[in-house]
Every structure is written in structure tokens, then in C-alpha cells.
Structure 1
Amino acid sequence: MKTSFLFAPTGLLAASALLLATSCTAPRAIVATGKVTPQGEFRVGYNQGFNVATASLSKVGSAVKEAAAQAITQQKVDYTDATTQLQAAALAYVLDPVQPTADLNVRYGIVPRLDAGYKYAFGSHVFDAAYQLLGPTGTPENPEAGATTGTTYASIGLQFATQRAKLPSLAFLSDINSLLNFRATRNDLLIPLTFSNSFGPEEEIGAISYGLVYAHSWVSYGFAPTKIYSGSVQVPELPLQSRNFSSFGGFVNLKLGYRYFYVVPAVSLFYQNYGDYALLNGQSTSLSGVTVVPSLGFQLRIPNFTK
């Protein structure tokens, strides 16, 4: 019995640590099916994932980490190629970090074929809606005629996220931020086209879903260092710059459960050419890469008991 009492707080501490390690990144894991929330119903969920971006991984090596650790201890830092690499690493991690992601979400069926929702991604606020293009609109308790195992659903969604972007809480990134005084904001628009095949009538025991995603992001950023010099002259700050870029991807997810509770493993894949970015001292960098987003979610369905 003692073991069971000890496990609960230990598990809670582990979960809390994971959430604290998660920075405010807009969620890109697609966990919805082609069937939207029926009218009058609620769906509440939690998703935990991991953002793996090749652009960020390619910009951060042992040399960059050592340069950041060394520069933070100096009173005066000479501008070198290493300084350019530190800025590129900071940008890569804001544009597409390598880190855990998590969100709490709620959805509501507004009218037949249309639902809307809100996600809180621990710093990022996300609003979205989806319209069902194909398939019946019943419920497991009251399925429409023709709703059986294998029934195909399709929907198109629109998700908008806004956030004050910041670097993840990693030691070398904290050093970079202290040196460069980096600041950034971003807004993200995501449009998923989702198809799914039902397991049981009206997804009573779940569904398999797949589809395509288009995303567009708007980023503003700047650097305001106080101890970086080019020769004897202090390098002036880089005022806020504005950039935008598109992402293209696909996804697959599996919804498994029964009527009221479901587990949703998913994976999404994106490609993006972030474009060219101005840096301090007249320098610039270009970024592009692939991002993989595996996730595991839990979903609670709350039926409309008044029907």
C-alpha cells in the first residue's frame, strides 16, 4: 500500500516537470478526425508531443554551445563567425524548436457540420474551427442511417495561434539570449484537410485519420546586444524585422476507445523554407528543413444529454 501512495505524487511531479520544460509553441499535431463534434456536444482533451526540427538540429553543435558558454563570461565580445552562428541558432529555435509540446483543449459542436475550439499550449493561445464536408452527423447513441464501420468522413479546419515567442529553457540557449537580448513574436495559421474511416457507427470505437496540412507563419524578431563589438565599435542593435513563410505537410492519427474516452496517437510531418533573415553587423542567414511531430493524446467526449 505504501508504494501506491508514493507513486501518485511522484507521477504528478514528473508530469509537472514535463509541462514546465514545454515552451509556448503553437501545437501542430493533428489529432482530429474527419467527423466534427456533433451539435451540442463537448470534447475535452490533452495532447503531449515532441517537436523535432532538422533546421534547429543543424544549427546547434558542440562548437556553438561552447561559443555561447565562453561569450557569456566575457565583458567584451568580438564579432566573429561564431556570433553569426549563435544568432542563427536562436532564430532556428524560435522558428521551429526541438522540444516537448503540450496543450489542453476543448471543442463544441455549434451547428451540424461545424464545431469550434480553444487550445492552451502553456503560453500560446490557439483558436480553431472545422467544417465537415463529408459523412453523417449523428452520434454513437443516435447514428444516422448508413453510419457503419468504414464510413468515410472529411473536414477542413482553420487554426490561428498567437504567442510571444521565446527560447526553450536550455542552458546554452539562455546564454545566447543573455548575450544577444533576443526578442520575437509570431502568429501561425494552419489549415488541415482531414479524411477518416470510422470504427463502428459514428466513430463509436474510434477511427483512422489522414490528410494534408498547409500552414503560414508571421514572425517579428530583433537583437539588442550591449557588449558585442566590431573592432572598437559597439555593434548596433538589429531593430524588429518581419518575415513570413509557408509550411506543407501530412499526418496520420489513430483514435481508439469507446463512446466517451479515447486515446489518440498521431504523427505529423512538415517541410518549410523559412527564407532569409537579417542578423547583426550586416550579416544574414537562410533556414529550411523538415519537422516531425509525434504525439499522444487523450480525449473525453461529453454527449448532449438533453437530446
Structure 2
Amino acid sequence: MNTPSAFRLLRATSLPALAGLLFITSCTAPRAIVATGKVTPQHEFRAGYNVGYNIATAPIAKAGAAIKDAASAAASSDSVRYSSSLNNLQAAALAYLLDPVQTTSDLSLRYGVIPRLDVGYKYAFGSHVFDAQYQLLGPVGTPESPGAGASTGTTYASVGLQFATQRAKLPSIPFLDDINEVLGFSARRRDLIVPLIISHSFGPEEEIGALSYGLAYAHSWVSYEFVPGKVYNDNRQRLSALPTQYRSFSSYGGFVNLKLGYRYVYFVPALSIFYQNYGDFALLNGASTSLSGLTFVPSLGVQVRIPTKLGGGRR
């Protein structure tokens, strides 16, 4: 099958520009659910670019004007006396680690391995994501060769598994840079997301798109440490570093997305919402903090379907 000229133009001009945009955003594992219940047909590829915004209530609550002023004052001092304000700075750093308020983006590529299973890879500026999706319901054809029963309104359902790993860092925001200078914060994290996706086709085999919605469960593993260089206790002794801490927490959410286009190129606006109780986290000097909150992930993406000569669908 010949690739349409419109797709060739998109590949030649748009994708390099989108790749450039990817590197101006901060790194975080992508949580926007932009897939439909129909997996990539066997032997076909699907490429995509997605940009969104991670809006989490926990870091917003921890980033008041007083915290920003305290971070700036501490960063400009040669030595810092440990106080409750430093507990607040640590809590703010952890909140941004667990769920940053920032722009997100990723490039992705998927491949149909067998009629009801596809696999994929995403790169999100430092976060590497591997995932697979298995189709539970609906035909497995293509717009050119629809499966039995494929039509407008056909229901598809699938379950996915996404694993992401990254060396986490705070977003490049002035007061967070100040916190990092004072507290010597570093972290790593891994994320597992399991979405259950239901979709309704527009046209046979999503020829002009689909409406999708569903539920998602996520689990995250975090390790972090604080290594302050100029923080002292009341006895003028330099505060000891906090050894590497290990924590994990679950998230529960729902999502909806709309896929609109024709055969080869689709635009996908989406919204995902998660709730998580992060639990208790150890801080310097024997202190601790507890965090919880909601996360809203609005996004907009483009997907390109890439048929191959081996494609054509399996009924």
C-alpha cells in the first residue's frame, strides 16, 4: 500500500518540529490515556506525539508565597539553621517529585504484533516508557479491510500495561532550584499504569475516529534522598544527610478521549484524572510529612497510522 502524500509531508516537516518541542519540557512519566479500545492492527505501525499539562493539587498546596520566600532566603545564605520552614521546603520538593505541575510531552511508536496485541515505546525527555495493549472486544480489521461486524458505533475494549522508569528531577522553577541548592535533593521513580479502555467507533474500524473512556490503576515506586551542605542544627553541627528512602503508592483514575481524523492522521484531545494518597515520607532531622491529592492531565495529540504491505487486517 502506498503512503498518502499528506502523510509524507507530515513526516517530512511536522515530526522534526514536534521532536524539538519535546526537549523543552520537563521530564515526567506520561499519564495521559490517549489509546482507544482497538489496538494497532497486525503488522501496522502507529506513531504519535502528545503534549499536555500535569496539574496536581499537592504541589500547588505546598508552593505558597511564604515557601518561595523561604527557599530564596535559604539559598542566598552561607548557612541555614534547621527549622519548621525547612520541613515545608522538603515537603514542597517531594510534592513536585511525586506529581509535578508542568508541561508534559512524549513521542511514541506502536506495532501490531498479533491480531489482538500491540506493543509500544514512548520517550518523554528522560522518561522511558514500555507498554502493551490487548484487545478484549471488537473486530480486528482495518478501514481498508473491515472485520466482521465493523461499523459506526461498534464497541471495542482492551486492557493495557505501561511501565515507565526515570531519574526524577524537579522542574526548572526558580524556587525549586533554590530548594535543591539548599537540600541536595535527588530521586528515582518507576511507574506502572493499567488502563481498561472502552471505545465506540466512528466509521468502520475507527476510519474517522472514536470516543474512548475508561478506568486506570497506577502504582509508583520512589526512592529519594536529601544531602544538605549548609544546614545546621541548634548546636551548630552540620545536619546529617537523609539516607536513601524507598516508598510506593497507588493512584486511581478515569479518563476520556476523542479521536478525530480520517484513515491516516488523527487528532486526540484527552483528559485523565487521578487520585492518590501518597502516604508518609521521612524528612531530615527525624521529621516526616504526609501528602495526598488529585491530578488533572489534559492533553492534545496527533496520531499517524502507517499501513504496511503485510497489513490489511485479520477478520
TM-score by length of 2: 0.92
- Deviations along 1:149-193, one digit per CA (max 9) or x if unpaired, are 000000000000000000001111111001100010000000000
Sequence identity (%):
69
- The answer to whether the Cα contact below 8 Å between 1:158 and 1:191 also exists between their aligned partners in 2 is yes
Letter in 2 for 1:195: I
SS of 2:29's equivalent in the other structure is coil
Uncovered stretches (5+) of structure 1, i.e. residues with no partner: 1-10
Residue 242 of structure 2 corresponds to which residue in structure 1? 238
User: Is 1:299 matched with 2:303?
Assistant: yes
Question: Which residue does the alignment assign to 1:140?
Answer: 143
1:193 correspondence with 2:199: no
Deviation at 1:20, TM superposition (A): 4.2
Q: Residues 1-307 of structure 1 correspond to what in structure 2 (within 5 A)?
A: 19-231=22-234, 232-307=236-311
1:166-222 C-alpha deviation (Å, 9 max, x unpaired): 000111111100110001000000000000000000000000000000000000000
Q: Deviations over 1:223-246 (max 9, x none)?
A: 000111111121110010000000
User: Do the aligned partners of 2:22 and 2:106 also contact (CA within 8 Å) in 1?
Assistant: no
Could you tell me how far apart the structure 2 residues matched to 1:209 and 1:235 are?
52
Would the alpha carbon gap of residues 21 and 61 (structure 1) be closer, same or farther in structure 2, given more than 3 Å must change? farther
- Paired amino acid for 2:226: F
How large is the Cα RMSD of the aligned pairs?
A: 1.6
Which amino acid in structure 2 is aligned with residue 182 of structure 1?
Answer: F
Matched to 1:104, the amino acid is L
How far off its partner does 1:304 sit? 2.3
Q: TM-score w.r.t. structure 1 length? A: 0.94
SS at structure 1 position matched to 2:220: strand
Contact kept, 8 Å, 1:192 with 1:214, in 2: the verdict is yes
Aligned to 1:33, the other structure's residue is in SS state coil
- Measure the CA separation in 1 of the matches of 2:31 and 2:146: 31
Contact 1:21 1:100 in 2 (8 A): no
Q: How far apart, CA to CA, are the structure 1 residues paired with 2:242 and 2:260?
A: 50
Equivalenced residues, count: 297
For the residues of structure 1 that align with 2:89 and 2:268, how far apart are their CA atoms? 38
Secondary structure of the equivalent of 2:181?
helix
